[in-house]
Amino acid sequence: MTGGTTAYRPRRSVLYMPSSNGRALEKAKSLPVDALILDLEDAVGPDHKETARDAACAAVRSGEYGERELTIRVNGVGTPWHDGDLAAACAAGPAGIVVPKVGSAAQVAALEAAMAVHGATEGTRLWAMIETPEAIFHVRDIARASGRLAVLVMGTNDLVKELRAEHVPGRAPLLTALSLSLLAAREAGVAILDGVYNDVRDEEGFAAECRQARELGFDGKTLIHPGQVAVCNETFSPSRAAVEEAEGILAAWEAGAGAGVVTYNGRLIENLHVDTARRVLDTHAAISARSGSGQG
């Protein structure tokens, strides 16, 4: 079973928020992010897991986050908190439940079944984190394993650790994993998000990594600091020049219908160029609608 191509929604900037931090949850209501990952895992110590769970579920139910896509990252399968996290998240009804270290299609199927048992509505999708060598070898099967699966999230920090690699400019040690995951996501018709950038003071390095992710084909990037949001949104939004070119291509295509050969600015236009232009305009329209609602 594949996830299937779904209508585009902006996921340019997806910010991890520690659910144990009430001030951070309150601030998130005004941030121009496309989505939030209310974290119960890495950002929350063992003594605060249950409090964070309650706070994340309350945030989802509050209706105070506008059109931001709210997700909850539960603790991993096999941890003492996973079952309770999953049950509570399903009851709260977020847009997505983010599960760390998903490694196989069988695990996706088990998560899908567990979500059904816990009464998750159809609107609560599964976001699978890809962050181990096992996951990379099985990423195609993972991406196609369930119609509930909507997003692959790259866990690049864990991948670097597992590979015994280093964080370096250009991310050469990760390019194989990133590319294979992108291929799997595009075949299955699910979204895919790049991993985080750790040095929140390095604005130039962060901007470069955002550009690289966009050029590779990612839908957006996960973030660890509110200061990273603006650059991320700008990078993953079509530029004015790209929108104007897409409009010109479609106008030329429609004007030349039946002509056999269509050109725009001296370039031959084919169906693939038209499909790309439509995707650019659909993306621009969705982002403009989000911005028009006072967000993003």
Lowest mean pLDDT among 5-19, 110-124, 201-215: 5-19
Same domain assignment for residues 222 and 253: no
Residue type, 32: P
C-alpha–C-alpha distance, residues 104 and 93, integer Å: 25
In a domain, 286, yes or no: yes
- DSSP codes of every residue in 246-286: HHHHHHHHHHTTTSS-EEETTEEE-HHHHHHHHHHHHHHHH
Domain end (from 213, 235, 257): 235
Domain end (from 235, 250, 279): 235
- Does 281 score more than 80 pLDDT? yes
Same domain assignment for residues 128 and 262: no
| Strands 149-154 and 191-194, sheet pairing | parallel
- Does 282 score more than 90 pLDDT? no
In a domain, 145, yes or no: yes
- If pLDDT is split at 50, 70 and 90, which confidence band does 8 have? confident
C-alpha–C-alpha distance, residues 226 and 285, integer Å: 24
Same domain assignment for residues 89 and 109: yes
pTM of the entire predicted model: 0.91
Same domain assignment for residues 207 and 252: no
In a domain, 246, yes or no: yes
What confidence score (pLDDT) does residue 55 get? 97
What is the tens place of the pLDDT at every residue in 220-237? Answer: 999 999 999 999 999 999
Percent of residues, the chain, with pLDDT higher than 90? 77
Same domain assignment for residues 148 and 288: no
Domain end (from 218, 235, 252): 235
Same domain assignment for residues 121 and 253: no
- Does 293 score more than 60 pLDDT? no
Same domain assignment for residues 216 and 80: yes
C-alpha–C-alpha distance, residues 97 and 189, integer Å: 18
In a domain, 138, yes or no: yes
For the chain, the domain total comes to 2
Percent of residues, the chain, with pLDDT higher than 70? 95
- If pLDDT is split at 50, 70 and 90, which confidence band does 144 have? very high
Same domain assignment for residues 218 and 244: no
Place of tokens 């250009």: 170
Domain hosting residue 181, numbered range = 13-235
What confidence score (pLDDT) does residue 62 get? 97
Same domain assignment for residues 206 and 246: no
Lowest mean pLDDT among 77-81, 85-89, 175-179, 251-255: 251-255
- Does 153 score more than 80 pLDDT? yes
Same domain assignment for residues 78 and 22: yes
In a domain, 4, yes or no: no
Same domain assignment for residues 22 and 86: yes
The C-alpha angle 120, 97, 66, rounded to 5 degrees, equals 95
Same domain assignment for residues 66 and 208: yes
- If pLDDT is split at 50, 70 and 90, which confidence band does 257 have? confident
Across the chain, mean pLDDT equals: 93
- Does 295 score more than 90 pLDDT? no
Q: Which CATH number fits the domain that encloses residue 111?
A: 3.20.20.60
CA 274 distance to own-chain centroid? 25
In a domain, 142, yes or no: yes
| Strands 262-264 and 220-223, sheet pairing | unpaired
Residue type, 240: R
* Closest by Cα among 153, 83, 139 to 111: 83
